[in-house]
């Protein structure tokens, strides 16, 4: 597959995955509700999980850039293409995660997981804040590549602590109540 066709396939997959996820979420939620700026994930634009999405974006960029790049090329144009491909692959990965997360919220992974997720995430959080902070993490890792290892360790610790908490919002409630 040529570079142009590969890039077209990546962009098409990205657009289709966002559109399909938005359509599915619109079937289950009321999209006309204006979100709070910060608070619970079910009614707010931002929640404590933006930290996790930023770290996850940095980790994804570190992994994807190692898989996509060829260290023999030092051409600036090649570096820009790798950067764009890596950002797109990271956005596709984030969209896949949001689809899995939505499935968890609906109870497709069991009632315990649905209880732990404690409600369906607000559309603004899912489609605006989470991807934005994921790309922000990618950009941070692009600018400072050594951030990858710190973000990886912090992401693993964060996930362990979150999974052991009673619900997905327990830590935020504990910190900000």
Q: What is the pLDDT of residues 45-100, one digit of tens each?
A: 899 999 999 999 999 999 988 887 765 555 656 666 778 888 888 888 888 898 89
Q: Compare 146 and 9 and report the one with higher pLDDT.
A: 146
Instruction: Give pLDDT tens digits for 100-147.
Output: 999 999 999 999 999 999 889 998 899 889 999 999 999 999 999 999
**Dihedral sign from CA coordinates of 73, 79, 83, 85:** negative
d(CA 135, CA 87): 7
Q: Is 122 helix (H, G, I), strand (E, B) or coil?
A: coil
Smallest CA-to-CA distance from 67 within 59, 77, 75 is with: 59
Q: Helix or strand or coil: residue 45?
A: strand
36 - beta bridge partners?
Answer: 44
Tens of pLDDT, residue by residue over 18-50, are: 788 888 887 877 766 788 899 888 888 899 999
Half-sphere exposure (CA, 13 Å, Cβ side) for 162? Answer: 16
Joined tokens for residue 25: 């979420």
Average per-residue pLDDT for the chain: 86
Predicted pLDDT at 77: 60
**Cα dihedral sign for 114, 116, 120, 125?**
negative
Closest CA to 40 of 174, 172, 140: 172
Rounded to whole angstroms, the Cα distance separating 107 from 105 reads: 5
φ, ψ of residue 30 to 5 degrees: the values are: -95, 105
**CA pair distance 50, 149, nearest whole angstrom:** 19
Helix (H) or strand (E) holding 116: helix 111-117
pTM of the model: 0.83
pLDDT value at position 32? 67
């Amino acid at each position: 597959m040529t570079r142009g066709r590969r890039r077209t396939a990546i962009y098409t997959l990205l657009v289709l995955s966002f559109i399909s996820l938005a359509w599915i979420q619109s079937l289950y939620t009321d999209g006309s509700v204006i979100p709070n700026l910060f608070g619970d994930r079910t009614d707010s634009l931002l929640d404590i999980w933006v930290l996790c999405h930023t770290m996850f974006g940095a980790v994804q960029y570190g992994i994807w850039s190692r898989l996509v790049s060829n260290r023999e090329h030092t051409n600036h144009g090649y570096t820009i293409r790798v950067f764009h491909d890596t950002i797109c692959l990271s956005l596709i990965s984030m969209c896949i995660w949001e689809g899995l997360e939505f499935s968890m919220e609906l109870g497709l992974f069991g009632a315990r997981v649905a209880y732990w997720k404690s409600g369906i995430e607000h559309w603004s959080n899912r489609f605006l804040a989470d991807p934005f902070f994921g790309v922000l993490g990618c950009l941070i890792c692009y600018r400072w590549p050594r951030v990858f290892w710190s973000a990886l360790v912090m992401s693993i610790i964060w996930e362990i602590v979150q999974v052991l908490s009673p619900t997905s919002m327990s830590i935020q409630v504990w910190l900000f109540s």
